[in-house]
């Protein structure tokens, strides 16, 4: 087992997308096999979010945080909560400073006091619920995995699609999609799944490393037969851009 400081630094670099492809894959395998390491990852996720909200990250770390760390909806929700809590703390601090100045007492009537107490109570309940959820061990999913490379064409003719057979007890399929060189720099990614019958579904994808993304599709959302994936990159200016090409796979 490596020293705790070295482990923390490695996890931090992993979350910011600063590890090489091989080191990132090794980290993901370690996280699946080691519960203590996974618990450390949850702690560092919170620390990075707090540092981002309070301006504690370097400019390069902020870019990597927005590009890699915020690739999942769960982390985006955590960030919104941290920002709301930070605003509340600052507002409460300002109210205390005003209360200590020479502001006429009659301005602080019963309605104001009731609203302030209610706000404190609501924030307390939210904090308690959030803490319970964060401390609850995440449910382990049983996922089949498949790594795909992109095809320059959107047509399946002449393409030998990889095949996957889902175990009966599988919760879903985790797809690791290798991005082409010089792909679009994105804050996050969206993946569009299209079955050969024309049905389409959309999923959020997580940036695994600089040149790959991963997406988990529940078993219930998959159909037997030929499937294709198209990747859309959400740029920092808020615009969505399609990455040319498609990924093909067959569910048996």
Residue 112 has pLDDT above 70, yes or no: no
Residue 118 has pLDDT above 60, yes or no: no
Average of pLDDT values for 185-193? 85
Q: What is the pTM of this model?
A: 0.47
Quick one: tokens of 197? 């019958």
pLDDT of residue 122: 63
Average of pLDDT values for 10-36? 84
pLDDT of residue 195: 94
pLDDT category at 109 given cuts 50, 70, 90 is very low
pLDDT category at 170 given cuts 50, 70, 90 is confident
Q: What is the mean pLDDT of the chain?
A: 80
Residue 108 has pLDDT above 50, yes or no: no
Residue 196 has pLDDT above 50, yes or no: yes
Average of pLDDT values for 87-99? 68
CATH class, 143-251 region? mainly beta
The structural domains of the chain, with segments of one domain joined by +, span: 4-70, 72-135, 143-251
């Amino acid at each position: 087992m490596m020293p705790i400081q070295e482990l923390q630094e490695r996890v931090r670099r992993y979350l910011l997308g600063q590890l090489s492809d091989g080191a990132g894959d090794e980290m993901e395998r370690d996280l699946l096999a080691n519960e203590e390491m996974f618990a450390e990852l949850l702690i560092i996720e919170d620390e990075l979010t707090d540092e981002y909200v309070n301006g504690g990250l370097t400019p390069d770390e902020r870019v990597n945080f927005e590009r890699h760390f915020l690739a999942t909806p769960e982390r985006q929700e955590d960030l919104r909560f941290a920002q709301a809590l930070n605003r509340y703390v600052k507002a409460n601090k300002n109210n205390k400073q005003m209360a200590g100045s020479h502001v006429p007492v009659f301005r602080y009537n019963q309605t104001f006091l009731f609203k302030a107490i209610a706000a404190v109570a609501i924030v307390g309940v939210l904090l308690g619920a959030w803490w319970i959820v964060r401390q609850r061990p995440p449910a382990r999913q049983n996922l089949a995995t498949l790594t795909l490379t992109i095809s320059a064409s959107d047509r399946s003719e002449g393409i030998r699609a990889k095949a996957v057979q889902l175990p009966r007890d599988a919760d879903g399929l985790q797809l690791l999609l290798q991005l082409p060189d010089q792909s679009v720099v994105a804050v996050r990614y969206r993946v569009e799944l299209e079955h050969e019958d024309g049905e389409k579904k959309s999923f959020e994808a997580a940036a695994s490393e600089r040149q790959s993304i991963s997406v988990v599709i529940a078993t219930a959302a998959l159909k037997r037969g030929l499937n294709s994936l198209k990747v859309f990159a959400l740029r920092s200016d808020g615009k969505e851009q399609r990455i040319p090409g498609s990924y093909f796979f067959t569910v048996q």
